[in-house]
Structure 1
Amino acid sequence: MPNRIIQAVYIDDDAALGRLVQRILGRRGYEVEHVTTAESGLARIADGDVDVVILDHDLGTSSGVAVLEALRVREQSPPVVYVTASTELSIAVQALKAGAVDYVVKTVGDDFEVLLVAALEQSVERARLMRAKEEAERQVRQAKDRAEMLLAEVNHRVANSLALVGSLVRMQASAVVEPGATAALAETQARITAIANLHRSLYTSTDVQQVDLAAYLETLVGELGNSITASGRTPTIKLHAEPVSIKTDRAVSVGMIATELVTNALKYAYPVGEGEVRVSLSRTPSTQVTLSVADDGIGWTGNGTAKGSGLGGKIIAAMSKSLGAQLEYHHRPIGTLASITFDEMAS
């Protein structure tokens, strides 16, 4: 027991028994306040500073069960030990169902004192442990909320910083005269944007460990489409994506692969003129996901080596390896279809 006086309220219409209980528990270090009605007992409990309640079953004009029902709707009610002269098991069951934490039968002699004190000590200790548990859980929730807030802020700042870097690269590309350097800078800017969009997705998400891959790809494809429009070219990008959620680090790999495949399709399939690039994200009957990029251009028809085997190809190979997948080119009458299939649930 803690080294302080335990405050108890004894609700019983029997004044003589009330004085007896006060003497018994006074010797045990309790301070017992005796009230004779349910109303006065509930009022005293509402005032606070009550560690435990001793509640008699028969209160004359009301019953102890009615008091229990009234206490159930209150927050932070003290534990209740139910006492009665009846030995009927149904009364004990009714009281425990109504919210009492223990039950003691009134008897003549020392047994009642021993049982009552034991019930009170266990009830007070249980309540203390419950409060400690709730406080610990509250602190854990607060710490979790703070960590999530800080992580969201980090993702927000990283997204903004990467967007700034991407803008600087785009400005540099516009100032370069040599076509090859301009193209390389444009591809670099697209790669930076892919990572920035992921961090932007994490900033607005409620779960920083998982990424809505369909929403992420939609943003990514939109950015690539805007870049094409800004450059004066006319190919269009269409996306069909089923709902897929994967871990954040794997989403980075998928985003980089999608960026490189779309960039390759735009670069090699339609070097001059209109065309369409189709990005698809779909589930297989198992827990696997397929990402594919298709075009109807001249990039590759299944003969020889696919174009775009430089830095972009190395990035695709590295990202595919991290996903446990391998890029495949499929034979088509016209154009190119590239795809990877990976496990959605892999860590």
Structure 2
Amino acid sequence: MPNSTTTVLYIDDDAALGRLVQRILGRRHYVVEHVLDAAAGLARIGQGGIDVVILDHDLGTMSGLDVLAQLGGIENSPPVVYVTASSELSIAVQALKAGAIDYVVKTIGEDFEILLVSALEHSVERARLMRAKESAEREVRAARDRAIVLLAEVNHRVANSLSLVSSLVRMQASAVRDAGARAALAETQARITAIGNLHRSLYTSDDVRTVDLSAYLESLVGELGQSMSSAGRTPTIRFEATPILTKTDKAVSIGMIVTELVTNAIKYAYPDGEGEIRVSLSRDAEGATVLVVADDGIGWSGQGPISGTGLGGKIIGAMARSLATTIAYAQQPKGTRAVVKIASESVAGAVSD
């Protein structure tokens, strides 16, 4: 049995039929209001408080289809049961396409009452479910928006914290007299910066699942150049990139590889401190991401003894394995050219909504 507060608006220019419908539905505890024309019906709907509309097809100067067209522009308009004396299927199709939830043909006798009540109950239930669905979707969107804001705040705070740690390491390096220790601290600072820049990118990103790799690496390379220049090394770093989106965890690995390769080039490629280091990011014909770090310095082919502690090489190897790839050192007349080729599925993967 429907709730007694369910209010039905019946729009029909037949006063006698209007009274009949009021009696039929009144017995089933519906509250029925009857108006004789479209204008009065639209005005009453505009006042609010109508749960469902029973709309006749022939309203004299207007048709029920005209009313449906106007209801389509009203937000949260009530559901409509379309009623007509015609049995033509085309009218039913037009009414349903125009937004009516159900359709009833006027007949004489109990059939009309049964069909009308059934259509009305179906419309009320469907409207209830639609309102519940819309409410649930609004709650989900609101929860998602809150989660995005909170996650952005977390990334912002992490980036700030890592920036503070990086500053502390830099301060410590400036207080150390031993050149080796100072260089080790500078490398540690660069690694912290690589991770901090990623969180800064996530803070400004619309989708924290992915990172614009080109923008992230450009920022990273820029800070590496500034950091190493302050340590007394002055090679010029040039960066070229194609915009590429990648998953966040993959961006960390790529950023660490760039950090180590560029740091090594700054430290060892140019003993006199002057030269050029080139970093490029692109896609090849197969869709793979290709990262290249090259210089024109004294050269190293990936073979032979490694200067320093070897920690950088271990980090590069670990990050490359996480990307299911390796570092290739291309042969060239002078300098070093390190190439990292990463399959598209290893970089982007499937990011679903």
TM-score (norm 2): 0.95
Give 1:262's aligned residue: 262
Whether the 8 Å contact between 1:159 and 1:197 is mirrored in structure 2 is: yes
Change (3 A) 1:243 1:308: farther
Shift of 1:337: 0.8
Q: Which moved more, 1:144-153 or 1:4-13?
A: 4-13
Q: Match for 2:235: what amino acid?
A: P
Give 1:174's aligned residue: 174
Q: For 2:290 and 2:309, how far apart are their aligned partners in 1?
A: 21
Whether the 8 Å contact between 2:158 and 2:199 is mirrored in structure 1 is: yes
Q: Match for 1:42: what amino acid?
A: L
Shift of 1:304: 2.6
Give 2:34's aligned residue: 34
Whether the 8 Å contact between 1:163 and 1:193 is mirrored in structure 2 is: yes
Shift of 1:287: 3.2
Whether the 8 Å contact between 1:281 and 1:289 is mirrored in structure 2 is: yes
Give 1:210's aligned residue: 210
Shift of 1:231: 2.8
Q: How many correspondences in the alignment?
A: 347
How many percent identity over aligned positions?
Answer: 70
Give 1:240's aligned residue: 240
Give 1:184's aligned residue: 184
* 3-state SS of 2:345 partner: coil
Report the RMSD for the aligned CA atoms in angstroms. 1.4
Change (3 A) 1:199 1:302: closer
Q: Which moved more, 1:298-307 or 1:160-169?
A: 298-307
Shift of 1:228: 2.9
Shift of 1:177: 0.2
Q: Match for 1:288: what amino acid?
A: A
Give 1:154's aligned residue: 154
Structure 1: runs of 5+ lacking an equivalent: none
Q: Match for 1:253: what amino acid?
A: S
Q: Match for 2:265: what amino acid?
A: A
Post-superposition Cα deviations, 1:216-267, rounded to whole Å, max 9, x if no partner, equal: 0100011011123323432100111111111101100000000000000111
Give 1:284's aligned residue: 284
Shift of 1:271: 2.3
Shift of 1:3: 3.8
Q: For 1:123 and 1:134, how far apart are their aligned partners in 2?
A: 16
**Equivalent runs, 1:1-347 vs 2, <5 Å:** 3-300=3-300, 304-307=304-307, 310-346=310-346, 347=349
Q: For 1:206 and 1:303, how far apart are their aligned partners in 2?
A: 43
Whether the 8 Å contact between 2:15 and 2:36 is mirrored in structure 1 is: yes
* 3-state SS of 1:190 partner: helix
Q: Match for 2:197: what amino acid?
A: N
Shift of 1:345: 2.5
Q: Match for 1:51: what amino acid?
A: D
